Structure 1
Amino acid sequence: MENTHILFWLVKDISWCMVWKTLGILMIGPTLGIAIVIAWRTRALKSELAHNLAIVFWITANSYWMLSEFFGFDTVRIGTLTDGKHLAIIPFAIGLLILAYYYLVQKPREAREAQVATL
């Protein structure tokens, strides 16, 4: 499943690069869908879940950015601070926050619990 996921992701990004709108848009579903399934299947392992959720949000941001370019709202001003494509920072940031939580809170907690268990 993970190898198929990479294939779909590459086809999506190549389509974006080549401005093959229909194929790029069609590849969002399977690319994001498989990423969600992988995250669900790894939910029992906190490390894997955190990384796989970050990938889900990365693909979401990446897909939004692609759509913003395909449909021409990438340079449309939204408010005074940003363009349409820059809203992709929201899912990118969510993925980053998930990883930050894992590395700054969850992983040290697991290390402390493992150390106490060995005493």
Structure 2
Amino acid sequence: MSDKEELYCIPSRYRKTENLHIVFWLVKDLCWVMLWKPLGLIMIIPTLGAALLITWQTRAIKSELLHNVAVVFWITANAYWMLSEFYSTDDSLRYYAVIPFSLGIITIGYYYLGLFSKKVR
């Protein structure tokens, strides 16, 4: 590591929230694949809640904020897709998940295009 390289450091309480968030997300997706509808539905709340908390906690760091906003969109799309498979007989409803997925891609694109344009300048 060079002397000029910036060190990335987050408080351990934030890291614990991020690690717990991964557990919530894995349990939610396990419920989805195993068709455990009630638990899958319940797991949306802590999974999305943890993502929102992490996003709020990192709001002062633009790169973290935008990546975490994209994660919130991803989980929203993922949860909607799961619910459409669980509770709808209309397969075409799952395609609406493209909306939050696209918003996540736009968020990340905004960050990386902005970063790229800064390097060019």
Cα distance, 1:27–1:101 mapped onto 2, change above 3 Å: same
TM-score, L = length of structure 2: 0.82
Question: 2: CA distance between counterparts of 1:5 and 1:94?
Answer: 21
What is the aligned partner in structure 2 of residue 80 from structure 1?
Answer: none
Task: State the 1:17 CA deviation.
Answer: 0.1
Asked if residue 19 in structure 1 is aligned to residue 28 in structure 2, the reply is no
Map residues 1-119 of structure 1 onto 2, 5 A cutoff: 1-75=17-91, 83-105=92-114, 107-108=115-116, 111=119
Q: Which runs of 5+ in 2 are unaligned?
A: 1-16
Q: Which runs of 5+ in 1 are unaligned?
A: 76-82, 114-119
Give the conservation status (yes or no) of the 8 Å contact 1:42–1:49.
Answer: yes
Task: State the 1:18 CA deviation.
Answer: 0.2
**4+ residue stretches of structure 1 with deviation over 6 A?**
none
Aligned length, in residue pairs: 105
Give the conservation status (yes or no) of the 8 Å contact 1:65–1:74.
Answer: no
Work out the percentage of aligned pairs sharing the same amino acid: 56
The two structures, once aligned, show a CA RMSD in angstroms of 1.5
Task: State the 1:110 CA deviation.
Answer: 5.2
Q: Secondary structure at 1:43's aligned position in 2? A: coil
TM-score, L = length of structure 1: 0.83
